[in-house]
A and B are shown apart, each in its own frame.
Chain A
Amino acid sequence: DQQVKQNSPSLSVQEGRISILNCDYTNSMFDYFLWYKKYPAEGPTFLISISSIKDKNEDGRFTVFLNKSAKHLSLHIVPSQPGDSAVYFCAASRGGGTSYGKLTFGQGTILTVHP
């Protein structure tokens, strides 16, 4: 049972354009969502997060949107740069009980930004 899904294994974008990465979740108890970026031979790096009490969070070129009714979140990168080429993972967390602090990850989307 995959509770966090990234249905697009890969995405290719031209430099300067917008990259939109999508993520769907099934567990309505999730209340905190994160995006990570991963380069080859490195660990995932935290990028941006959003609490379920918000529907948008922005940090520089990166914006995360949360649609709770659709159980969907997206990461927008504007403008995209070749250095953004990496694997992007979305992750979700529940606030309470033994799940406190645990993250459930999606399978990842490979983003390639062409010069």
Chain B
Amino acid sequence: DAGVIQSPRHEVTEMGQEVTLRCKPISGHNSLFWYRQTMMRGLELLIYFNNNVPIDDSGMPEDRFSAKMPNASFSTLKIQPSEPRDSAVYFCASSLLLAGTYEQYFGPGTRLTVT
């Protein structure tokens, strides 16, 4: 059974360019989460969706970041324009949220480098 799939695994881009990260959650899961991991801030939640609807985007750093989930099997995180301080590993996770259980399953991550 395939886990969470993320693409690309690595992305190197120049400052000012648009970057799009992609995620396919585990089939049947009803929630999807985007995280960013940096040395300074650790693993921080950017946004999460429940049944394709954004529930909490309070972690999105600024308007340059946007996320969509057009259907239950696909989500994107877009940065436009990108800046060097956006360099980090971005993880997507999915979950079947049920009463009393909150396990999330992570993809392998996308390592973004903005020069």
Contact A46 B108 (CB under 8 A): no
Classify the secondary structure of B's interface with A.
strand
Complex contact B42–A101 (CB within 8 A):
no
Contacting pair B101 A45 (CB below 8 A): no
User: Are A46 and B43 closer than 8 Å at their CB atoms?
Assistant: no
B56 contact set on A, CB distance < 8 A: 98-99, 102
Q: Interface stretch among B11-19, B62-70, B71-79, B89-97?
A: B89-97
Which of A95, A98, A103 makes the CB contact (< 8 A) with B104? A103
Q: Please tell me which one of the listed residues A42, A49, A89, A102 contacts residue B103 in the complex, with CB atoms under 8 A apart.
A: A49
Cα–Cα distance between A89 and B104 once the two chains are bound (Å): 13
Q: Mark A85-113, 1 if CB is under 8 A from B, else 0.
A: 00001000101001111111111100000
Complex CA gap A28/B42 in Å reads 22
In the assembled complex, the Cα of A49 lies from the Cα of B104 at a distance in Å of 11
Interface residue tally of chain A, by bracket?
20 to 34
* A43 interface hit (Cβ, 8 Å): yes
Give the Cβ gap from A75 to chain B, nearest Cβ, in Å: 15
Contacts A101-B50, A102-B56 given; does A46 touch B103 at CB 8 Å:
yes
* Closest beta carbon of chain A to B95's beta carbon, Å: 6
Q: How far is the CB of B21 from chain A (nearest CB, A)?
A: 13
Asked if B4 lies at the interface with its beta carbon under 8 angstroms from chain A, I say: yes
Question: Told that A43-B91, A45-B106 touch, could you supply 18 new A-B pairs with CB distance under 8 A?
Answer: A32-B102, A34-B103, A41-B108, A44-B91, A46-B103, A46-B104, A49-B103, A51-B100, A89-B43, A100-B50, A100-B55, A101-B31, A101-B102, A102-B48, A103-B33, A105-B43, A107-B42, A108-B43
